[in-house]
Every structure is written in structure tokens, then in C-alpha cells.
């Protein structure tokens, strides 16, 4: 039960029953500890300044040691400065035995953001006089750390066209910096004449009218504000026909376009060509003189001072429909001739237009009977109307 040399007697019994007793020694040894049967292998681990190293990562064969084996640094490892830090890992086995393993912890300087990023330059283009943006000279700015700042080392001179070398200073959040050579391409500002295209439009005017240069450019509203247009020379509209002309378009920057256009000059239409008198039937009595004005229903819509008259007098001596021609003369001297109908009616008789009203009158036997007293509305009948009984009344 205890380690050490134990003296014992071995009895040897022979087949014939005789015996020998032989004194022997039994050496009892201690059971080996797990520390004695295992060999932890040190591993170099790398940490950054200020990081806490892991004892587990300093034993490379920890997975091969007995389950529940514990490891820890004998003393904390100082990682405040870069360099190789010697340390001892205490390996404690489940049986309580221990190994102490010397290891090295490599402490590295934390890299600056300037060391782990690479800004990519890109050519940007600006116009003469414009201020370039440093941000537009770094193509991968969105991939750099948040809050990275960029600016030109010195202002870029854009007063003249050409390729301008410049230096962009990239400042990272940790204060480290990159200086990136870039190119700013400065282009001459194009004239407004170079960047706009006036579109010609055909306009139509009457003989003697003055055409408008504005109406000969269809997209004038799309050109820069304050663009001016005028004909290079006056357009002759004294005769009808297509008149070629040149419109000079002057932009606010002083540049010009010259646009060939066509002005269509048309003959002035007569008032007779642009108006349409409407005939109206009028009714007159036999012997009356009809009015030419009443035979045109839309006379009020015709030009002021339009005159109308019958081409020949209308015969109204007999009743019936009389065909006539009304001559419409416009202020410009042009004429329309309008066929019309004048309806001539017979004069009605007074008997046709009056209606005597009978009334009962009472007389004595033998009295004279007055026929006028048998009509109640004598006063409404024409003056001098005669009233008599068709046959004498027997009273």
C-alpha cells in the first residue's frame, strides 16, 4: 500500500511434497503523475499592444492533454510595449500534478490606418474657374474608414485649361495620413453656341407683314434665358413666295449661331374670301319694297361698314316667291353675291282681319231695329264700316 522495497518469502512446493522457501524482495513504486506522462508543447502567439494573450493559445497540443486540463499564465503578460515577452504557462492536470512551460508572447505594434488602407487616385474634370473636390479625386473613398477626411495639400489652380497635378492629403480617424498624387483636368468652358442647337421653324406672314425672328426658332424657350434672335437682314415680304432668311441667335455669353430659315409670304385674302354671308327669306306685302339687309341673316357678323343691296330691284307687284341676288360689298372692295328669296304675300281683306261680335238687342213691337246695336264691338271695327240687316226685321 506504500511505495518501497518489501521483503517476502516465496514457498516452492515440489511434486513429491517437499518445499523450499526462498526470500525475495518486491519493489513497490509510486503511480506516475499525469505531469510525468504528458508533455505540453509551447506555442508562440502574437498579440497587439494592449491585448490580453490567451494561455490556451500558448500550448499547441492542448487538445492532446487529458480532459479538464487547465492552463494559465503564472503571472500576467505585459503587452504595453511591442516585443517578445517571455512567460510561463502553468498546466494543471486533473490529478493535481502540474507542468510549467516557458513560452513567448510576441507583442506587435497596432498598425496605423495608413498602413492598412490604400486610397486610389482618379482623374477628375472641371471647367476653367471651377473648384475641384478632393473627394472626387479618390475613387475608393467609400471603402476607407468612416470619418476619413480628404483635402488638397494646396489649392488647385483652374484659371487655365490643362492637366493640373495636385496632392490629396488623406487623414484617417487615428490621425495617420496618406498623401496621394492626383491629376485635375481643367477644360475650357464651351460657348453656349457650342452646347445649344436652335431649331429652324417655317413661319407664314401676309404680303407686307413683318415676320418675327422669334417665330423662326421653334425651340427658343429651350435656349438659355436672355438669348436674343434677329434676322441678319430684313425679310422682303412685298411679294408672295418663300423667302430664305438667316436668323442670328446671340447667347448671353456673346457667342452666336446663324440659322437658315424660310419665311412663307402669302397673298392677303380678300374679305370676300374670309366671310360667308348667310341668306335669309324675308316676307313683304304686294307693292312693298324689300330690304337687302333683311335678306342676310348674319350681317352683324360681317366686317363693319359692309354694304348690301339687291343687284336688281325686286318685283313685288304680284304675290309669290321672288328670286333675287344680294350684292355684299366689303370694306376692302371685294364682293359676294348671295341668291335669296323674297316672299311676296297678298294684302289680306278687312273682313279677313276683323271679327264682328253679335249681341242680342230688345225692341218693342213695331219699333225700328238698329243693326249696329246687334254688333257688340262696333268700336273695334274699321272706321266707316257699314252695318245693315241682310233682310228687314219684322217687329
Going from N- to C-terminal start, the domains of the chain cover: 34-108, 113-187, 197-265, 271-345, 355-395
Residue 378's Cβ-side half-sphere holds a number of Cα atoms within 13 Å equal to 13
Dist CA 307 CA 327 (whole Å): 8
Superfamily of chain region 34-108: Immunoglobulins (2.60.40.10)
Dist CA 217 CA 310 (whole Å): 50
Contact between 193 and 255 under an 8 Å Cβ cutoff? The reply is yes
pLDDT in tens, the chain (395 residues): 677 778 888 888 999 989 988 888 878 667 899 999 999 999 999 999 999 999 999 999 999 999 999 999 999 999 999 999 999 999 999 999 999 999 999 999 888 999 999 999 999 999 999 999 999 999 999 999 999 999 999 999 999 999 999 999 999 999 999 999 999 999 988 899 999 999 999 999 999 999 999 999 999 999 999 999 999 999 999 999 999 999 999 999 999 999 999 999 998 889 999 999 999 999 999 999 999 999 999 999 999 999 999 999 999 999 999 999 999 999 999 999 999 999 999 887 889 889 999 999 999 999 999 999 999 999 999 999 999 999 999 98
In the numeric block, the cell 446671340 is attached to 250
Cβ neighbours around 296 below 10 Å, total: 23
Task: Give pTM, 2 decimals.
Answer: 0.37
| Grid cell listed for 90 | 502553468
Q: What is the pLDDT of residue 107?
A: 97
Q: Determine the CATH number of domain 271-345.
A: 2.60.40
Task: State the virtual CA torsion across 299, 302, 305, 307 in degrees, nearest 10.
Answer: -50
Closest CA to 166 of 177, 151, 178: 151
**E strands within 207-332?**
228-231, 241-250, 256-266, 282-285, 307-310, 320-329
Closest CA to 285 of 352, 340, 342: 342
Query: What is the helix (H) or strand (E) element at residue 195, kind and residue range?
Result: helix 192-195
Closest CA to 125 of 55, 189, 56, 186: 186
Superfamily of chain region 113-187: Immunoglobulins (2.60.40.10)
Is there a common fold for 34-108 and 197-265?
Answer: yes
Dist CA 143 CA 380 (whole Å): 114
Q: What is the pLDDT of residue 28?
A: 60
Strand, coil or helix: 351: helix
The CATH number fitting domain 197-265, selected from 3.30.43, 2.60.40, 1.10.357, 1.10.3470 = 2.60.40
CA angle 356, 362, 365 (to 5 degrees): 130
Amino acid at each position: 500500500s506504500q511505495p518501497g522495497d518489501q521483503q517476502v518469502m516465496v514457498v516452492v512446493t515440489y511434486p513429491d511434497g517437499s518445499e523450499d522457501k526462498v526470500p525475495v524482495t518486491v519493489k513497490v513504486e509510486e503511480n506516475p503523475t499525469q505531469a510525468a506522462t504528458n508533455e505540453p508543447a509551447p506555442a508562440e502567439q502574437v498579440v497587439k499592444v494592449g491585448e490580453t494573450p490567451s494561455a490556451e493559445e500558448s500550448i499547441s497540443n492542448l487538445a492532446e492533454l487529458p480532459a479538464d486540463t487547465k492552463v494559465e499564465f503564472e503571472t500576467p503578460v505585459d503587452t504595453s510595449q511591442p516585443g517578445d515577452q517571455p512567460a510561463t504557462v502553468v498546466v494543471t492536470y486533473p490529478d493535481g500534478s502540474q507542468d510549467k512551460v516557458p513560452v513567448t508572447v510576441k507583442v506587435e505594434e497596432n498598425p496605423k490606418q495608413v498602413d492598412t488602407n490604400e486610397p486610389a487616385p482618379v482623374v477628375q474634370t472641371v471647367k476653367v474657374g471651377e473648384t475641384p473636390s478632393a473627394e472626387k479625386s479618390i475613387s475608393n473613398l467609400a471603402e476607407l474608414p468612416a470619418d476619413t477626411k480628404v483635402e488638397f495639400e494646396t489649392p488647385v489652380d483652374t484659371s487655365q485649361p490643362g492637366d493640373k497635378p495636385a496632392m490629396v492629403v488623406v487623414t484617417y480617424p487615428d490621425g495617420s495620413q496618406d498623401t496621394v498624387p492626383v491629376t485635375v483636368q481643367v477644360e475650357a468652358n464651351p460657348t453656349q453656341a457650342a452646347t445649344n442647337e436652335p431649331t429652324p421653324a417655317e413661319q407664314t406672314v401676309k404680303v407686307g407683314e413683318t415676320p418675327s425672328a422669334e417665330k423662326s426658332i421653334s425651340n427658343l424657350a429651350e435656349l438659355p434665358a436672355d438669348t436674343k434672335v434677329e434676322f441678319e437682314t430684313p425679310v422682303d415680304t412685298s411679294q408672295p413666295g418663300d423667302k430664305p432668311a438667316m436668323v442670328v441667335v446671340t447667347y448671353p455669353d456673346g457667342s452666336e449661331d446663324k440659322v437658315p430659315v424660310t419665311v412663307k409670304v402669302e397673298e392677303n385674302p380678300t374679305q370676300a374670301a374670309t366671310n360667308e354671308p348667310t341668306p335669309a327669306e324675308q316676307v313683304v306685302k304686294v307693292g312693298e319694297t324689300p330690304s337687302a339687309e333683311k335678306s342676310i341673316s348674319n350681317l352683324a357678323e360681317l366686317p363693319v361698314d359692309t354694304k348690301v343691296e339687291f343687284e336688281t330691284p325686286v318685283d313685288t307687284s304680284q304675290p309669290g316667291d321672288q328670286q333675287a341676288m344680294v350684292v355684299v360689298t366689303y370694306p376692302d372692295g371685294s364682293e359676294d353675291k348671295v341668291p335669296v328669296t323674297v316672299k311676296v304675300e297678298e294684302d289680306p281683306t278687312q273682313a279677313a282681319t276683323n271679327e264682328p261680335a253679335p249681341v242680342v238687342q230688345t225692341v218693342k213691337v213695331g219699333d225700328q231695329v238698329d243693326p249696329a246695336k246687334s254688333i257688340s264691338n262696333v268700336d273695334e271695327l274699321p272706321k266707316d264700316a257699314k252695318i245693315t240687316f241682310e233682310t228687314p226685321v219684322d217687329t
